[in-house]
């Protein structure tokens, strides 16, 4: 990929997106976990533990190329993004829960993303010709910088100038969407000569992983009696990954273009699949308000 895009464009793009995320967050979003411990805990378990395991099973079962498989694992380890909040709002999920999960996942990703990527490299053993694709300590610090620093700056701006943050939130969100599309298109164009083969190799895996992510994100909370609106929020948070972060880590931190292809492909196909899931939630009444529990005198 063009060196200017890799060295300048991607870090700036990700910084804009993560700064925009920070503008939507407050410390209350982290404290909210105490009031929704079950919903938060189940969604985090699905995101951090189940999804990497499901992704590993898919890439092994379908015999995906080891380097592309590591790219899929990088995607699986990436947290949800602000797009999940939008889908949750559109399809009557608990957006406050989405914001809480996004905040916590963004912090956890600093630890879990390097752990999952290094485990994937050890298990899948990509070819030595691909170079060093693991995340050692120095590269882990880069992940910390690209994930948390812009978020923290956004949170500080929101705290110090809430009026400005509210006015800037909309334009920054639009700019983030434009940047997301540009990054995905750029990653695909960089591999345009091989994209047909990549779609054949990765398209099925990416689609299956997206469906599994959305399904696990919804069904697991429902199994432990989490409310429907919270389950919808969990589904989108678990099923819609931050493709831009995965692409940025692949290109700017790991320096390998093929590692970015799964995230670029996923970033395109996840939208129609997530829309289909949202309409399914609405059609089946999954997003309708739940009746309030009866009091003891009414039982």
Tell me if 142 is assigned to some domain.
yes
Tell me if 285 is assigned to some domain.
no
Which domain CATH number covers 44? 1.20.1530.20
Name the residue with higher pLDDT: 213 or 17.
Answer: 213
Give phi and psi for 249, each to the nearest 5.
-65, -40
Tell me if 281 is assigned to some domain.
no
Tell me if 113 is assigned to some domain.
yes
Q: Rounded CA gap, 240 and 39, in Å?
A: 17
Show Cβ contacts of residue 262 under 8 Å, excluding neighbours closer than 6 positions.
68, 71, 72, 74, 75, 202, 205, 206, 246
Tell me if 294 is assigned to some domain.
no
Tell me if 63 is assigned to some domain.
yes
**pLDDT for res 8:** 58
Tell me if 298 is assigned to some domain.
no
Lowest-confidence region among 77-86, 96-105, 252-261, 287-296: 287-296
Total count of domains within the chain: 1
* Range of the structural domain that residue 163 is part of: 3-81+94-209+241-268
Show Cβ contacts of residue 210 under 8 Å, excluding neighbours closer than 6 positions.
239, 266, 269, 270, 273, 274
| pTM to 2 decimal places | 0.75
Tell me if 87 is assigned to some domain.
no
Nearest residue to 259 (alpha-carbon basis) of 270, 247, 267, 269: 247
């Amino acid at each position: 990929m063009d060196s200017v895009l890799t060295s300048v464009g991607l870090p700036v793009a990700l910084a804009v997106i993560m700064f925009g995320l920070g503008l939507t967050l407050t410390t209350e979003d982290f404290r909210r976990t105490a009031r929704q411990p079950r919903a938060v805990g189940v969604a985090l378990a699905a995101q951090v533990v189940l999804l990497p395991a499901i992704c590993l099973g898919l890439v092994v079962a379908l015999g995906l190329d080891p380097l592309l498989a590591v790219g899929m694992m990088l995607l699986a380890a990436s947290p949800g993004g602000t797009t999940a909040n939008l889908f949750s709002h559109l399809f009557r999920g608990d957006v406050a829960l989405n914001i809480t999960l996004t905040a916590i996942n963004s912090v956890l990703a600093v630890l879990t993303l390097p752990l999952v990527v290094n485990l994937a490299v050890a298990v899948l053993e990509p070819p030595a010709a691909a170079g060093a694709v693991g995340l050692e300590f120095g590269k882990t610090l880069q992940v910390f910088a690209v994930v948390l620093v812009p978020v923290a700056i956004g949170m500080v701006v929101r705290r110090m100038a809430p009026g400005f943050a509210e006015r800037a939130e909309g334009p920054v969100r639009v700019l983030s969407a434009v940047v997301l599309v540009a990054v995905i298109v750029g990653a695909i164009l960089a591999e345009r000569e091989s994209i047909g083969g990549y779609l054949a190799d990765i398209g099925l895996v990416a689609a299956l992983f997206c469906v599994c992510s959305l399904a696990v994100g919804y069904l697991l909370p429902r199994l432990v009696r989490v409310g429907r609106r919270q389950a919808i929020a969990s589904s989108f948070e678990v099923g819609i990954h931050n493709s831009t972060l995965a692409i940025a880590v692949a290109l700017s931190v790991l320096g390998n273009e093929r590692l970015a292809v799964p995230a670029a492909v996923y970033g395109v196909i996840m939208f129609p699949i997530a829309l289909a899931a949202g309409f399914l939630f609405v059609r089946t009444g999954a997003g309708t308000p739940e009746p309030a529990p009866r009091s003891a005198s009414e039982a």
